[in-house]
Structure 1
Amino acid sequence: MDPLHGTYVSLRPATTADLPAFRTALATDEVRRWWHWPDPEGDLGEPEHRHLAISVKGETVGMIQWDEEPDPDFRHATIDIFVHPGHHRLGLGTDAIRTLARWLFDARGHHRLTIDPAAENTAAIACYERLGFRRVGVLRKQWYDHQRGGWADGMLLDLLKGELSEGG
């Protein structure tokens, strides 16, 4: 996969050289609250996910990953993202999602994307809604919250081709 270029960010396949930046972001309270990396000293995790480094002027500031359902009757792609808190509220996450969404629609031929943040992650949900994602519903007890030691709800949002917002 060739690098993808947004307004502010570049997305490229993550390598082991990105792991220190990922670990630094995952060690912050703001990211650790919502993300659980099973083996922080390990590799990039699940091979079925495509991990892309989010970089700004050559600096890795986060990670966005995507996966796709290959069954033609249910074909769609999913996205997940984190950005180091030192780079929050600069439009970088929004730009990364918009850039990847365009590519998934145009190059990969998807008609629908989904994202499923924690239902309590209101900042993330607001960001996704600004991009055009719509709430589908609550995924009850969807993910294990390691901070609180129990199951927590997720919010399923989806975006159809043609609904991606160019502003915000």
Structure 2
Amino acid sequence: MELRGERVVLRPAGNGDAVILDRIVREPAVARWWSPPDDYTDMLAVTLGTPGGEVVGAIRYDEETDPEFRSAGMDIFLTTAHHGEGLGTDALRTLARWLIGERGHHRLTIDPLAANTAAVRCYTRLGFRPVGILRAYQRDHRSGAWQDALLMDLLADELT
């Protein structure tokens, strides 16, 4: 599977991507929001949209396949060298279009930490709306303290 956005390509992350993705997730501005995953092979590598493009991050999704609750969740991280360039928005929009158009989901969710205002702004630009605060939702892997998250959702016809 390869998904092409305007400026990024999403492709399955392979074992060869683990070193660079692990380095990215440990960058201080990324590590503030992400703990290093045990395995990157359940993610899609976010690459610059050129042949053999540079790996700049990863995106993942999960699906609820019960027909009565059909929906999907997403999450993303990018290297700080490319923050603020719109690559995250492009990657999320690309994955959202695939989840809605090809996988048949009518609703998408994302749950950034409430303090991650840059992520919340990005998701809002795509059309995600706040649903509510998930209190003491995620344990900070550095301090052990519980942190609140903001549950956001997007209906299929709201994707910008």
TM class by shorter-chain length? Answer: over 0.9
Aligned pair partner of 1:155 in 150, 153, 158:
150
Is the aligned partner of 1:90 residue 2:85? yes
* Alpha-carbon offset, residue 38 of structure 1: 4.6
Instruction: Check whether the contact 2:26–2:36 (CA below 8 A) recurs between aligned residues.
Output: no
Deviations 1:87-136 (A, max 9, x none): 11111000000000000000000000000000100000010001100000
> Counterpart in 1 of 2:33?
34
From 109, 120, 124, the equivalent of 1:125 is 120
Once superposed, what is the RMSD of the aligned Cα atoms?
A: 1.1
Question: CA separation in 2, counterparts of 1:44 and 1:91?
Answer: 23
Change (3 A) 1:38 1:11: closer
Q: Sequence identity, in percent? A: 54
Number of corresponding residues? 157
Q: Distance in 2 between matches of 1:164 and 1:16?
A: 32
Counterpart for residue 51 of structure 1: 43
What runs of 5+ residues in structure 1 fail to find an aligned partner?
none
| 3-state DSSP of counterpart to 2:157 | coil
Deviates more, 1:152-161 or 1:30-39: 30-39
Q: CA deviation at 1:24?
A: 1.3
| Structure 1 moving runs of 4+ over 6 Å | none
Measure how far apart 1:44 and its partner are.
2.3
CA deviations over 1:58-104 (Å, ceiling 9, x no partner): 11000000010111111100000000000111110000000000000
Paired with 2:151 and 2:70, the residues of 1 have a C-alpha distance of 16
Of 58, 71, 76, the match for 2:66 = 71
Is this contact kept in 1: 2:126–2:159, CA < 8 A?
yes
Match of 1:116 in 2: 111
- Cα distance in 1 for residues equivalent to 2:61 and 2:138: 18
CA distance in 1, matches of 2:112, 2:99: 19
Q: Secondary structure at the match of 1:72?
A: coil
Residues 94 and 38 of structure 1: CA distance in aligned 2, closer, same or farther (over 3 Å):
closer
- Between the aligned partners of 1:154 and 1:147, the Cα distance in structure 2 is 17
Matched residues in 1 for 2:37 and 2:8: separation? 27
Q: Gaps spanning 5+ residues in structure 2: where?
A: none
Give 1:37 deviation, angstroms: 1.9
Structure 1 window deviating more from structure 2 (104-113 vs 144-153): it is 144-153
Structure 1 counterpart of 2:132: 137
- Secondary structure class of the residue paired with 2:158: coil
Aligned to 1:23: 22
